[in-house]
Structure 1
Amino acid sequence: MIRIKARAPTRQGCVRRPDRRPLRRALVLPTLWGAMAMGYKLACPAAEQDGMGARIATSAVFFAIGTGLIVHVRRTFLRELRQARRVAGAAQSVLLRPPPPRVDGLSVAAAQLSADRGAAIGGDLYAAVATEHGVRVVMGDVRGHGLSAIGTVAAVLGSFREAAHDEPALDQVLRRLDRALGRHLGERARTEHPSSGLEPDTPVAEEFVTVLLLEIARDGEVHALNCGHPWPYLISGDRIEPLTRADPLPPLGPFPLPSDLPALPCGRLRPGETLVLYTDGAEDARDARGRFFSLPTVLAQAAGGHRVTPQTVLHQVFTALLRHTNGTPADDVAVLVVHNDRRPRARAARADADDRAAALRGGADGPAGLLRGS
């Protein structure tokens, strides 16, 4: 026989009641200690005496009880805090999981920093996936930051991870993201305004997402679609420059996408070159004097004098950013670095030819060749 427990209905349906067991456990021992203190005060003859020794003993008892109470409550809340952090870490690994270190011959690394103290996830989103159409990368920034933007991040990222594989054209991927965002905002509007619907002055009506889509083919050819997002920086030797200076489209949300939406060709990402995608929280970060963070300067320092790797770029950017903002950035920051480790075709062909020649020499000079020569 299956038993079904009744739950309190709400406007969104039946939900599980909050678990109050940790709070009850936290109150059991303080209540016991309080009862012991009252019993000592009322029943113990030493507590009723007015001598100095009796007062010292009474004070010692109440001090021990108070100290035990504080220690117990502290341990309880620390345990609950550790559990909450484990849950937040698990949610982050599912929602904004780091990309694999290598994606179809490209080295990839990404990291993000939330402006909300203690939050593991912010309003920035990124992903890089290898598809039959090339490596497709998304970088986005939801209006606002912190926990309020997590739902929008989940809607856009979930749509991208499916559309990147399903859609052969990059513009169709962007249209899928736009439709997913529209559905998400519509659901939020119905939840927040169930009777009157979405009002023009509500936060949902003003919400938007900046999105940058990149498609990197096997030969390094890069195509892009940009909706209100900063263009990535290209690191080529000692040169640090934007990938392109074309005007982006408006962000997703407030305006419909145009009917004609061709992907913009942005040249090639040659072997040894690096793309640095970022959200505007990086370049908008200010120090105590109001000076903006200079991302190109930090990238030039990361690229100068040694081999560029995505991990070194991320380390130097976030170290310099935290130093610039004194450890308290005002907005979420996300950085994704893509480095082309693929061998050039001519170099690969020469390497293959050398391998074949070495194999032939080994066949002629090896034990079988010696036997044939004898």
Structure 2
Amino acid sequence: MIRIKAGVPRGVRPFVFGLPLMWGALAITYRLVCPLARHADLGARIVTTTVFFALGTGLILHVRRALLQELRQARRVARAAQNALLRPLPPRVGGLHTAAAQLSADRGARVGGDLYEVIATEHGVRVVMGDVRGHGLAALGTVAAVLGSFREAVHDEPELGAVLRRLDRALARHLRERAGDEHPVVEEFVTVLLLEIRPDGELLCINCGHPWPYLLTGTRVVPLADADPLPPLGAFPLPRELPAEPVGHLLPGETLVLHTDGAEDARDAHGRFFSLPDAIGEVLCGGPVTPQTILRTVFAALLRHTNGRPGDDVALLVLCNDPQQRAPSGARGGDISGSAARARATVAHPHPTNHL
């Protein structure tokens, strides 16, 4: 288990809290013992003042340097912990081009509470996208519990509903363990989107309180579905029946953009919401569409919209079915590009607009 504690590092605490005492003791000792302190000459006072200033500046600079070193080390540890949890995705998984990135709202810790993973299994390519309540270091433990359970369950469970139950049990167990820690656990929940992409491109989905992905088909950007999702994990018990809902097909040349709610909840200085479909649409008008191009364009637009200060963590996951490059034969999960014959039931929705 990885533990990262915020606050002043232990090795620097004696300097931080002892500096005022050291300075006060030195001033009193100087006043009582040093003859120059009682000397009326202006030159002597200037000399002693200069000495005190030099000593104080040296102490402050030493403490500052030690604090910066400890802070850089804490950030490296936090980044390593998050990289161990959110492992970099391979460029191709089961015939899909993939890319993902996260933008954390916690500028000091540089970590967030968003989670994602793409795994090729014998049942197809399985995807999870989630968002832990809150952000920063406190959310890392919950991310680890959910992702660890998903990475095992997707290979063991033939149905998405069984995978979701495994995630729910892992979350409940994690929260019970945290309840016995030194800090009380506040009410916590996780929004989760489970997606299964079968070898013929069919899409099955279970949504627990998460935003629906966007589908890029031709020159259109449309929501993958508009059904009401289940409640987030941890908020309420799961229903007895958890069937995976078919939501169409991912045909060759089409792309899915999964995201967390931090993207569409981001506001500018005037309170206007960020339009994720419009940002994705800029990619469609700018030339070849690749997962990396989508990530760069959307994050650049988001940072412009929020003036570089997003109010919440933002994660994007892009899955592209490229008909030009097929997965090697025998790859786990199959090649979803192999069947364009099956028609997809097109879901037509109005283009979302900003909320004022």
Instruction: Report the alpha carbon displacement of residue 37 of structure 1 after superposing the two structures with TM.
Output: 7.3
Instruction: Report the alpha carbon displacement of residue 327 of structure 1 after superposing the two structures with TM.
Output: 2.1
**Contact 1:171–1:263 (CA under 8 A) maintained in structure 2:** yes
40 and 159 in structure 1: CA distance in 2 versus 1, 3 angstrom threshold: same
3-state DSSP of counterpart to 1:292: coil
Instruction: Report the alpha carbon displacement of residue 190 of structure 1 after superposing the two structures with TM.
Output: 4.8
Verify: 1:152 aligned to 2:142, yes or no. Answer: yes
Q: What do the CA deviations read for 1:330-360 (whole angstroms, capped 9, x no partner)?
A: 2221111111224488xx9xxxxxxxxxxxx
231 and 193 in structure 1: CA distance in 2 versus 1, 3 angstrom threshold: same
The 1-side partners of 2:224 and 2:138 are apart by 31
Which residue of 1 is the match for residue 223 of structure 2?
A: 242
Verify: 1:253 aligned to 2:234, yes or no. Answer: yes
**Contact 1:107–1:339 (CA under 8 A) maintained in structure 2:** yes
Instruction: Report the alpha carbon displacement of residue 137 of structure 1 after superposing the two structures with TM.
Output: 0.8
Verify: 1:81 aligned to 2:71, yes or no. Answer: yes
Which residue of 2 is the match for residue 223 of structure 1?
A: 204
Max Rg structure: 1
The 2-side partners of 1:246 and 1:20 are apart by 51
Letter in 2 for 1:332: D
Aligned pairs, number: 320
Instruction: Report the alpha carbon displacement of residue 157 of structure 1 after superposing the two structures with TM.
Output: 1.0
The 2-side partners of 1:344 and 1:46 are apart by 84
Which residue of 2 is the match for residue 292 of structure 1?
A: 273
The 1-side partners of 2:325 and 2:30 are apart by 84
Letter in 1 for 2:274: F
Q: What do the CA deviations read for 1:11-56 (whole angstroms, capped 9, x no partner)?
A: xxxxxxx984444477899999988877776666655532232222
Which residue of 1 is the match for residue 320 of structure 2?
A: 339
Verify: 1:94 aligned to 2:84, yes or no. Answer: yes
Q: What do the CA deviations read for 1:252-295 (whole angstroms, capped 9, x no partner)?
A: 22333233322122222122221100111111111121111111
Runs of 5+ in structure 1 lacking a partner?
Answer: 1-17, 195-201, 349-374
3-state DSSP of counterpart to 2:67: helix
The 1-side partners of 2:65 and 2:112 are apart by 29
Verify: 1:262 aligned to 2:262, yes or no. Answer: no
Which residue of 1 is the match for residue 159 of structure 2?
A: 169
83 and 290 in structure 1: CA distance in 2 versus 1, 3 angstrom threshold: same
The 1-side partners of 2:23 and 2:240 are apart by 72
The 1-side partners of 2:119 and 2:69 are apart by 37
Q: What do the CA deviations read for 1:94-147 (whole angstroms, capped 9, x no partner)?
A: 122232222122221112222233122222211111222221110011223333
The 1-side partners of 2:156 and 2:325 are apart by 29
CA RMSD in angstroms, aligned pairs only: 3.0
Instruction: Report the alpha carbon displacement of residue 240 of structure 1 after superposing the two structures with TM.
Output: 0.4
**Contact 1:214–1:223 (CA under 8 A) maintained in structure 2:** yes
Q: Equivalent pairs: percent with the same residue?
A: 68
**Contact 1:287–1:325 (CA under 8 A) maintained in structure 2:** yes
The counterpart of 1:203, out of the listed 175, 182, 186, is 186
Which is worse superposed, 83-92 or 115-124? 115-124
3-state DSSP of counterpart to 1:311: helix
The 2-side partners of 1:27 and 1:224 are apart by 54
62 and 214 in structure 1: CA distance in 2 versus 1, 3 angstrom threshold: same
Instruction: Report the alpha carbon displacement of residue 219 of structure 1 after superposing the two structures with TM.
Output: 2.8
191 and 266 in structure 1: CA distance in 2 versus 1, 3 angstrom threshold: same
**Contact 1:92–1:120 (CA under 8 A) maintained in structure 2:** no
Which is worse superposed, 71-80 or 99-108? 99-108
**Contact 1:33–1:65 (CA under 8 A) maintained in structure 2:** no
**Contact 1:121–1:147 (CA under 8 A) maintained in structure 2:** yes
Which residue of 2 is the match for residue 312 of structure 1?
A: 293
Verify: 1:59 aligned to 2:80, yes or no. Answer: no
319 and 193 in structure 1: CA distance in 2 versus 1, 3 angstrom threshold: closer
Instruction: Report the alpha carbon displacement of residue 57 of structure 1 after superposing the two structures with TM.
Output: 1.4
Instruction: Report the alpha carbon displacement of residue 247 of structure 1 after superposing the two structures with TM.
Output: 2.6
TM-score, length basis structure 1: 0.76
TM-score, length basis structure 2: 0.80
The 2-side partners of 1:192 and 1:35 are apart by 36
Letter in 2 for 1:113: L
The 2-side partners of 1:140 and 1:61 are apart by 58
Q: What do the CA deviations read for 1:140-184 (whole angstroms, capped 9, x no partner)?
A: 112233333332222111100111121122221111111212222
**Contact 1:26–1:76 (CA under 8 A) maintained in structure 2:** no
The 2-side partners of 1:114 and 1:242 are apart by 25
44 and 179 in structure 1: CA distance in 2 versus 1, 3 angstrom threshold: closer
Verify: 1:327 aligned to 2:327, yes or no. Answer: no
The counterpart of 2:130, out of the listed 131, 140, 143, is 140
3-state DSSP of counterpart to 1:110: strand
Q: What do the CA deviations read for 1:312-333 (whole angstroms, capped 9, x no partner)?
A: 1111211211221222222221
3-state DSSP of counterpart to 2:207: strand
**Contact 2:204–2:247 (CA under 8 A) maintained in structure 1:** yes
